Chain A
Amino acid sequence: MTAPLLAIEDLVVSFPSNHAPLHAVDRVSFALKPGESLVIAGESGSGKSLLCRSILGVEPETAKVAGRLDWKGKSLLNLSVAQWRPLRGAEIAMIFQDPTAALNPLLTVGRQIMDVVRAHRKCSRNEARSRAIEVLGTAGLPEPEHRLTSYPSELSGGMRQRVAIALALSAGPELLIADEATTNLDVSIQAQIVTLLHDLRSKLGVALIFVTHDLDLAAEVGGELLVMYAGQPVEMGPVDTVLADPCHPYTRGLLRSAPTARSSRRTPLRPIPGQAPKLGAVGDGAPFRDRCPVLISGLCDRSRPGWTEAGPSHRVACHRFEQDGRDGLT
């Protein structure tokens, strides 16, 4: 057993308010070893982006992070700027949904990558240059040596996202966090980037956190799946197990609402009725209770469900599942 790189336990990210603090991420736990991947799936407001930002210590200033957040056995909470420097970008790197936000429009691609390389490692300009070419090649950019002198505006969206990935890889991170990194890209480029992420894991042993709202894409990425709703983890397990045998009503609802590669109008979609609750509106009960088809009244609105085993390393937080198992679900 190798020790986990990242260990998170009962992580809570909250915002102060007049009344009780609002929990935007509520008691999330997971661990990640080198080469492993975790897909976090959820919709807007599920807290998935905030969770990623908290790992990198870039949550909004008003947010309060509590719980255990350990990187290689040392806590990442309350680090100073100087303590973050050797970690952020170097050991843990992040790719955002919008690559233009991560790139400086006034500097060439090569200059930006070389800056990052030299900020984290003592080396000559030439070494930095060859490293830049190497990572651009790894990120799947054709003719990387010619791209060094390009400005971000001269590249297409897919190319720009690859540069952003190269930038994230340049200091040789051990954990890569991709926050909706392929959401705005064309399907063919999305597929290429997912393949690239597979390669990074198998060849370089990079651990991956992949955030998405697309469960089909989650299946392509593979690894563990963490489904979040309204800031709370509701189901967790290996991606293909969870998708083949979803045991939380929300996961089931999500899978039924999205058309698959093979569905047609003859198999009507069954959308989840209603809307996701506002931040802080969840209270003590099960987070999904207002939209749940298999609600247990009197229980789900009073107490938050704990984890129930649904199979080997497959866990579900649902009162109905705890009581009736798979038969209780629709």
Chain B
Amino acid sequence: MTDAPILEAIALDKVFRVRRKGAPHDIHALKNVETQLHPGETLGLVGESGSGKTTLARILIGIEEPTRGEVRFEGNAVRSAEGWRELRRQVQYVFQDPFTALCPTMRIGAALAEPLAIHGICPKPERKDRVAKMLGLVGLSADMAGRLPYQLSGGQRQRVNLARALMLEPRVLICDEIVSGLDVSVQAQVLALLVDLQGKLDLSLIFISHDLRVVRYLCDRVQVMLLGDTVEHGPTAEVFDDPQHEYTRKLLDAIPDRDHAARISKSALQYG
């Protein structure tokens, strides 16, 4: 990638202070982590629980504050509340759990129109059309606007969450484990939708997942994290086919693999 990065994390440190059995002690969630997202690319953040990938993503959108380091958007450091407000017009975030990320008392249409109202983007009478258009874009029918979240299935809710994040026409979308709560067939629908939207809307994506199969499928570049450190990063194919770090290798070996398993089961594991 030769273009300048659109979103960058520079030397991020995050320390959580927790009190456990009296004495306070520090947990280093991130240790001097750097990340760069270039326009149009999909970056995968990979790692197991406690690796700091979600903390990193939350710092990038400003709902978590770093202990040290800074976030840069189009080369400029984001420091003020005004700066974060600006950033969030261009960078949006989709949460993992489709069941808690939607306000339970707000109708879908109102939830989708809200970003427009907040930023005063389009005149009130046109909002309804914009909402209907967006619902169509994520593959939902326009009559969904009148429903409440509990009337929707998990996959439909995740589509609504995507739609809401896209209402502001952001350039960057951060997706935090957005398919891990979904059934396999629904997961495929949402992944296909994401690929489709990325092409149509010229989005850059940060895709966080613990499922390496999904990351390999979707991402151009991966960053592998372990206990708050980046242990390896590079183009997806390179990292997956020729991992340099031992941890990456271990992680790749642990991926359930139907072809690999079939070979083993023929040789060693014949029961019954």
A residues touching B (Cβ–Cβ < 8 Å)? 33, 35-37, 43-44, 157, 186-191, 194, 198, 201-202, 213-217, 219-220, 222-224, 239-240, 243-244, 253-254, 256-265, 268-273, 275-276
Q: With A254-B184, A264-B217 in contact, is A216–B271 under 8 Å at CB?
A: no
Q: Are A187 and B254 in contact (CB under 8 A)?
A: yes
Other CB < 8 Å A-B pairs besides A188-B254, A219-B261, A219-B265, 6 of them?
A: A43-B184, A214-B184, A219-B258, A223-B272, A253-B185, A265-B218
B-chain residues with CB within 8 Å of residue A260 when the two chains form the complex: 213, 257-259
A-chain residues with CB within 8 Å of residue B90 when the two chains form the complex: none
Cross-interface CB contact of A257 among B188, B210, B253, B254, cutoff 8 Å:
B188
Cross-interface CB contact of A258 among B184, B192, B218, cutoff 8 Å:
B184
The CA of A262 and the CA of B259, in the complex, are separated in Å by 10
B269 within 8 A of partner (CB): yes
Q: Are A265 and B217 in contact (CB under 8 A)?
A: yes
Q: Are B187 and A257 in contact (CB under 8 A)?
A: yes
Q: Are A269 and B265 in contact (CB under 8 A)?
A: no
B88 within 8 A of partner (CB): no
The CA of A19 and the CA of B44, in the complex, are separated in Å by 50
- Least Cβ–Cβ distance between A225 and chain B, in angstroms: 11
The CA of A186 and the CA of B49, in the complex, are separated in Å by 7
B-chain residues with CB within 8 Å of residue A190 when the two chains form the complex: 254, 256
A-chain residues with CB within 8 Å of residue B237 when the two chains form the complex: 264
Q: With A37-B272, A216-B256 in contact, is A188–B251 under 8 Å at CB?
A: yes
The CA of A201 and the CA of B269, in the complex, are separated in Å by 10
Cross-interface CB contact of A187 among B187, B212, B272, cutoff 8 Å:
B212
Q: Are B213 and A35 in contact (CB under 8 A)?
A: no
B201 within 8 A of partner (CB): no
- Least Cβ–Cβ distance between B53 and chain A, in angstroms: 12
Q: Are B261 and A213 in contact (CB under 8 A)?
A: no
The CA of A58 and the CA of B92, in the complex, are separated in Å by 44
B residues touching A (Cβ–Cβ < 8 Å)? 48-49, 153-155, 183-189, 191-192, 195, 210-214, 216-218, 236-237, 250-262, 265-266, 269, 271-272
Cross-interface CB contact of B256 among A198, A202, A219, A273, cutoff 8 Å:
A219
Q: Are A261 and B269 in contact (CB under 8 A)?
A: no
Residue on B nearest A241 in the bound complex, by CB: B262
Residue on B nearest A202 in the bound complex, by CB: B271
Q: Are A243 and B188 in contact (CB under 8 A)?
A: no
Q: With A240-B262, A263-B216 in contact, is A219–B188 under 8 Å at CB?
A: no
Residue on A nearest B155 in the bound complex, by CB: A275
Count: A-B pairs, CB below 8 Å: 144
- Least Cβ–Cβ distance between B245 and chain A, in angstroms: 14
Q: Are B213 and A258 in contact (CB under 8 A)?
A: yes
- Least Cβ–Cβ distance between B172 and chain A, in angstroms: 19
Q: With A240-B265, A253-B185, A264-B217 in contact, is A201–B271 under 8 Å at CB?
A: yes
- Least Cβ–Cβ distance between A77 and chain B, in angstroms: 25
B-chain residues with CB within 8 Å of residue A261 when the two chains form the complex: 212-213, 216, 252, 255-257, 259-260
Q: Are B255 and A43 in contact (CB under 8 A)?
A: no
Q: Are B214 and A43 in contact (CB under 8 A)?
A: no
Q: Are B188 and A214 in contact (CB under 8 A)?
A: no
Q: Are B256 and A186 in contact (CB under 8 A)?
A: no
- Least Cβ–Cβ distance between B7 and chain A, in angstroms: 22
- Least Cβ–Cβ distance between B169 and chain A, in angstroms: 23
Residue on B nearest A194 in the bound complex, by CB: B256
Residue on B nearest A44 in the bound complex, by CB: B183
The CA of A35 and the CA of B185, in the complex, are separated in Å by 32
The CA of A222 and the CA of B187, in the complex, are separated in Å by 24
Q: Are A269 and B253 in contact (CB under 8 A)?
A: no
Q: With A187-B255, A269-B217 in contact, is A240–B184 under 8 Å at CB?
A: no
A-chain residues with CB within 8 Å of residue B188 when the two chains form the complex: 256-258, 269-272
Q: Are B272 and A33 in contact (CB under 8 A)?
A: yes
Q: Are A216 and B258 in contact (CB under 8 A)?
A: yes
The CA of A249 and the CA of B271, in the complex, are separated in Å by 28
- Least Cβ–Cβ distance between A304 and chain B, in angstroms: 21
- Least Cβ–Cβ distance between A311 and chain B, in angstroms: 15
The CA of A276 and the CA of B237, in the complex, are separated in Å by 34
Q: With A257-B187, A275-B153 in contact, is A243–B258 under 8 Å at CB?
A: yes
A-B contact pairs, 17 of them (CB 8 A): A186-B210, A187-B212, A188-B48, A188-B254, A191-B256, A213-B184, A216-B257, A220-B261, A244-B262, A257-B185, A259-B213, A259-B217, A260-B257, A261-B259, A263-B213, A264-B237, A271-B185
Residue on A nearest B263 in the bound complex, by CB: A240
- Least Cβ–Cβ distance between A314 and chain B, in angstroms: 14
Q: Are A187 and B271 in contact (CB under 8 A)?
A: no
The CA of A253 and the CA of B154, in the complex, are separated in Å by 19
Cross-interface CB contact of B271 among A223, A264, A268, cutoff 8 Å:
A223
Residue on B nearest A271 in the bound complex, by CB: B188
The CA of A243 and the CA of B259, in the complex, are separated in Å by 9
A-chain residues with CB within 8 Å of residue B218 when the two chains form the complex: 259, 265
- Least Cβ–Cβ distance between B20 and chain A, in angstroms: 9
The CA of A269 and the CA of B49, in the complex, are separated in Å by 27
A-chain residues with CB within 8 Å of residue B266 when the two chains form the complex: 240
Q: Are B48 and A186 in contact (CB under 8 A)?
A: yes
- Least Cβ–Cβ distance between A31 and chain B, in angstroms: 10
- Least Cβ–Cβ distance between A291 and chain B, in angstroms: 8
B-chain residues with CB within 8 Å of residue A243 when the two chains form the complex: 258, 262
The CA of A214 and the CA of B257, in the complex, are separated in Å by 10
- Least Cβ–Cβ distance between B207 and chain A, in angstroms: 12
